Structure 1
Amino acid sequence: MSKLVKVSKENEIFSQYKDTPIESLFQYHNLGKPFKKYDKAELLIGMCMDNRKQLNIPNNFSYIIRSGGGNLRYSEFKVSYAVAIGGVKTLALIGHNNCGMVNLMSKKERFIKGLVENAGWDEKKAEEHFTSFAPMFEIENEMDFLLSEVKRLRLKYPKILIAPLFYNIEDNLLYLVEED
C-alpha cells in the first residue's frame, strides 16, 4: 500500500527528487524557502480545482492545470504544450484528501438542484448534464486515482519526471507518496 511521507525537513525529500523542481516545490511550500525569481516555468503542476488548496510558490515557477480530482485526461494538450513549448521536464500531480470528485454519484441530486437554483437550468437539462459528465470525472478514492493517473502519464510522457504528491487540507502541507 502506498504511504504518505510528511516533509518538514529538507533531508526528508526523496533522493529521486533532489536537485529537481519537485525539491524546490517542497522547499517553497512546506519549508518556507525565500522565493527565487524565475523567468520561465520549471514545473507543471496538475491539481484539483478545490478551493481549499493554495500553493506557496513564486511567480513564473510553474504552469498549473487545475481540474476536478486532478484529472488530466481531458487536459493532455495543455500538458503537451507545457512540455513542447514551455520546455518543462517535470510534472507534479497533486491529489488531496476529502476530494469532492470521490463518490460523485452520491451528489447527483444536490448537483441538479444547484444548477437549477444557482444557474437557472431546467431540471431535465441539469440531470442530462450530470449523467453525461459525472462518469468521466468521478474517482473511487484519491490515492488510487492519483497513482493510476501518474502511471498513465508516465507511459505517455516517458522522458518527463512525474511525481505523485498529496496535499493534506488539514495542515495545508504537501506530502510525498511512497509508491509500491
Structure 2
Amino acid sequence: MKELIKVTSREDIFSKYIGTPVEKLLLSHNLGQLDGQYSSAELLIGMCMDNRKQLNIPSNFAYILRTGGGNLRFSEFKVSYAVSVGGVKAIALIGHNNCGMVNLMSKKNKFVNGLVENAGWDEKRAEEHFMNFAPMFEIDDEVDFLLSEAVRLRMKYPKVLVAPLMYNVEDNLLYLVREE
C-alpha cells in the first residue's frame, strides 16, 4: 500500500529524516521555516521539469536537477558530481501527481503535431524522435516510479540518504511516501 503523508508540522516528518537536509527541505517548503544562509548545497533535489512545481527553499541550499518525471537515469553523472564534488549526503527525489510522463504514448499525436507546428520539423522526423525516446521516459504510475527510482539510487549511492517525496500540484505541498 502506497501511503502519502502530508507534512503540516515537524511531528509529521519521519524520524529517519530528522536532523537531515530532507527535514530542512520539508520545513522550508511546507512550513515556510527558512533555515539560514548556505554557502554550499546540502541536498540534491531531483524533480520533474513540470512548470507547476516551484520549491520554497533558501538560496544555495540545494542542487536541483529537473527532468521529465524526475527520472535521473540519464543524469547519473550530474548526481555523481553533486555527491562527489558537491559533497551532498542526501537526495530528495520528488515526483508529483498528474505527471505528463504517465501514459506518454497516449500523447504521441500531440507531441508529433507540436514539433511539426511549433518547431518546424517534418512529421516523419518528429514521429521517429518520439518513438526513439518516449519508451525511455514514460512512467506507469508516479509513486511506483518514484519508489523504484529511490531503490535504484540507494543501490548506486549506498552512503547517501535518498528520500522519495511527492509534490501535490493542487496544494503545492510535499508529502512523504511511506515505503513499508
Same fold (TM over 0.5): yes
Q: Answer whether contact 2:50 2:68 (CA < 8 A) is retained.
A: yes
1:173 is matched with: 173
1:102 is matched with: 102
Is residue 80 from structure 1 mapped to residue 80 from structure 2 by the alignment?
yes
The one-letter amino acid paired with 1:34 is L
Alpha-carbon separation, structure 1, partners of 2:2 and 2:92: 17
Alpha-carbon separation, structure 1, partners of 2:104 and 2:165: 22
SS in 2 for 1:102: coil
**1:6-29 deviation line (CA, Å, top 9, x unaligned):** 010111110000000000001100
1:93 is matched with: 93
Q: Answer whether contact 2:39 2:60 (CA < 8 A) is retained.
A: yes
Instruction: Give the Å deviation of 1:2.
Output: 1.7
Alpha-carbon separation, structure 1, partners of 2:78 and 2:178: 27
1:149 is matched with: 149
Matched residues, percent identical?
Answer: 72
SS in 2 for 1:56: coil
Alpha-carbon separation, structure 1, partners of 2:35 and 2:147: 30
Alpha-carbon separation, structure 2, partners of 1:142 and 1:27: 23
Alpha-carbon separation, structure 2, partners of 1:144 and 1:177: 10
2:32 is matched with: 32
Corresponding pairs, count: 180
Runs of 5+ in structure 1 lacking a partner? none
Alpha-carbon separation, structure 1, partners of 2:65 and 2:148: 18
Which stretch has the larger CA shift, 34-43 or 75-84?
34-43
Q: Answer whether contact 2:34 2:57 (CA < 8 A) is retained.
A: no
**1:99-152 deviation line (CA, Å, top 9, x unaligned):** 000000000000000000000000000000000000000000101100000000
SS in 1 for 2:115: helix
SS in 2 for 1:115: helix
The one-letter amino acid paired with 1:132 is N
Alpha-carbon separation, structure 2, partners of 1:144 and 1:171: 21
1:114 is matched with: 114
Alpha-carbon separation, structure 2, partners of 1:142 and 1:50: 13
1:10 is matched with: 10
Alpha-carbon separation, structure 2, partners of 1:88 and 1:172: 25
TM-score by length of 1: 0.99
Provide the aligned C-alpha RMSD in A. Answer: 0.6
Runs of 5+ in structure 2 lacking a partner? none
The one-letter amino acid paired with 2:177 is V
The one-letter amino acid paired with 1:86 is G
**Over 6 Å off, 4+ runs:** none
1:131 is matched with: 131
